[in-house]
Amino acid sequence: MAYLEKFNHWLNSKEIDQETKQELLSIKDEKDIEDRFYKDLEFGTGGLRGIIGAGSNRMNVYTVGKATQGLADYLKDNFNNPSVAIAYDSRNMSKEFAKAAALNLCANGIKVYLYESLRPTPVLSFTVRYLKCSAGIVVTASHNPKQYNGYKVYGQDGGQVTDNAAKAILSCINKVNDFSDIKVLDEKKAVEKDLLIYIGEDIDKVYIEKVKGLSIREELVKESAEDLNIIYTPIHGTGNIPVRRVLRELGYKNLQVVKEQEIPDGNFPTAPYPNPEEPAVFALALEMAKNLNADIIFGTDPDCDRIGVVVKDNKGEYKVLTGNQTGMLLTHYVLSSLKELNKMPKNGVLIKTIVTTESVRGIAEEYGVELIEVLTGFKYIGEKIKEFEMDGSKNYLFGFEESYGYLAGNFVRDKDAVIASMLICEMTLYYKKQGKTLYEALLELYEKYGYFKEKLVSFELKGKEGQEKISNCIEYLRHSMKPTINGCNIVRKMDYKTSIEKDLLKFQEKIIDLPKSNVLKFVLEDNSWFVVRPSGTEPKMKVYLSVTGNTMEDAEKKIEEFQKSIMDIVNTSLE
C-alpha cells in the first residue's frame, strides 16, 4: 500500500479517533505525510522505537496496539496461561502506551502485572524473572530526544527478545491486518477479572536487596562509605529513587542530587538530548561540583539502564569518561577484587560487544577469565548469560558495551545503571582509600595494558532517502573498500551479514558464529580498527574507530588521523 493510500485509510477508518485524524489533516507538507506512512514502524529485534505522532511510522496507541496484539497471539501460541510484566519510564506518553498494551493483553485473556508508577528498564527485566512471566514490555526510548518513545519486548528469561523470537513475534504482528483486529478490555473489567494486577514496592524491595548483594568489598563500604562525596543526576528519568535508595542503604551519606534534573519530566527541559554520553547533560552537576568537591559525578539516562561518569583528571579538572573507559575501569576492579578476595569462580567469563574497547582483553588474560564477543546490543549479552545458566559451562562475571551499558550479577538480563552506580561508587571509594582518583587509576591501567583510544561518529540520515544512503554506503564499503588506509594494510575483514571473516594476507576465510547483521568491521595491521553499522534505534549510521598508541598523546594523535581518513572514505560513499 502506497503512503497516500495508508494516509487515507487512517483518515477513513472507524477505529481511528478524531484527535488523531485532526493531527493528520493539519499536515501541509507532503514529505511529512510520506515519512509518516512510507512504512510501518519496524518491530526490530528489541521492539519499536520512533517519533511520537500519528501515522504508521510513528509511536502511537495504534502502532503499539498492533505490536501488542501480535505479541498476544504469539504468547497464546507458545505458552499455557501466559503472563506479562509491564513497566514504563518518564517519557511523554509512556504511561498511556503501557496501559494500552496492558488492556490489549488482558482482552486476549493474558494476565498482566503493571507497575503503578515509572520504573527503570532493568527493574522490568528482574520482574519478568521474579514473577516467572512469559514476557515483559517496557515503554521507553532510552536516551533518544524527547520526540521519541519506544516499546521493548523481553522474553521469559528477562532478556530482550533476540532474533528468532523477534521474527516469530513479527510474523504474528504482520497478521494483524486491521485496527479492528486489536482487542481492548475496559480497565475496571480487567481488574475485576484478575487479569490486571498493579505491582510496586514489594518487588522493589527484593530487587534493591539483590543489588546491594553485588557489593564486592562489603567491609570497605561499611566502614568508609560516608567518606565519598557524590553528585548524581537522574536527568529527569527513572533512576532517582532506586539509585539513591541503594546508595543510602549502603551508607553513602554524602550524596547530592542535581535538583533541576531530579523530577521526572518527558520534555527533558535541561537536557534536550538526555544521553549520559553527552557531556552537556552534566553542566548543572559540574556547577554544583565547584562548591562540593565531588569525588565522583554520574548520571543515568531516562530508563536508567545507561550511566555516564565524570571524574577529576590529574590537573584537578572534571573530565567525562567514555563508556569504554568506565568499562575498562569496572572490568579491572571486578576481576582484581574477586581475585584478591578469593571470590573468583572457575570458568569465569567477561562479555563485550564487537564495537567495544579491546583494552579489556589483556585484563581478562591476566586474571584467567575468558573474553567473549557478541553483536552490538545488550540483548546478545543477556542471551549468553541464559546459555551459561542452562548448560552450566561458564560463570558470568561482568559484561559491558561502549554505549555506557554495564551489568554484574545474573538476576537482571539487561544493562543496569542501578547496579553500575553502586559498583562505580565502591570502586571510587576503593581508589580514594589508596590516595588515588579514578582518573589516576585509569592512567595506571593504560600504562599497564596499552593506550587505547576509541571514538564514535554518527551520521544522521532521516527519512526514506536517508535509509537508502545508509544502505548504499555499507554496500560500497562491503564491495569497494581499498586494501590500505594511509599506507597501512587491512588484514582482516569481518562481514556480519554474510557471517564471513577474511584474512586478507593469508587469503583464508572462516565462519563468524554470530547472528547475521548488516555490519562491517575492518582490522588493520597496526591493530587499529573501524566498524560501520546502521543504528537500530535512530535514523543514523554509526562508525566506530579504535587505535592504540605508545602514550596517551600518541593515541590521541593517531585517532585524529584515523578518523580523518575513515571519514573521507565514508563521506565519499555517501555522495
Residues labelled catalytic:
142
Query: What are residue 134's phi and psi, to 5 degrees?
Result: -80, -25
CA 369 to each of CA 23, 355, 533: distance values in angstroms, whole numbers, following the listed order: 56, 20, 29
Largest CA distance in the chain: 72
The owner of cell 537508502 is: 468
- Cβ pair 50, 148 in contact under 8 A: yes
C-alpha 226/C-alpha 253 separation (Å) is 5
Q: Running DSSP on this structure, what letter comes out for residue 413?
A: -
- Cβ pair 143, 306 in contact under 8 A: yes
Instruction: Name the CA dihedral angle for 73, 79, 85, 86, rounded to a multiple of 10 degrees.
Output: -10
C-alpha 237/C-alpha 141 separation (Å) is 11
- Cβ pair 149, 58 in contact under 8 A: no
The residue among 159, 257, 241, 175 whose CA lies nearest residue 207 is 241
- Cβ pair 388, 396 in contact under 8 A: yes
Instruction: Name the CA dihedral angle for 133, 137, 138, 144, rounded to a multiple of 10 degrees.
Output: 150
Alpha helix locations (H) across 454-551? 463-480
Burial class (CB in 10 A: 0-12, 13-18, 19+), 320: buried
- Residue ranges with strand state E in 53-92: 83-88
- Strands 370-374, 348-353: parallel, antiparallel or unpaired by DSSP? parallel
- Residue 520's identity, in one-letter code, is L
Query: What are residue 349's phi and psi, to 5 degrees?
Result: -140, 140
415: its cell numbers? 544493562
- Residue 502's identity, in one-letter code, is K
The residue among 395, 503, 368 whose CA lies nearest residue 512 is 503
C-alpha angle 239/240/245, rounded to 5°? 100
168: its cell numbers? 516469530
- Cβ pair 456, 542 in contact under 8 A: yes
Query: What are residue 161's phi and psi, to 5 degrees?
Result: -60, 135
SS3 436: coil
- Cβ pair 268, 277 in contact under 8 A: no
63: its cell numbers? 502502532
SS3 85: strand
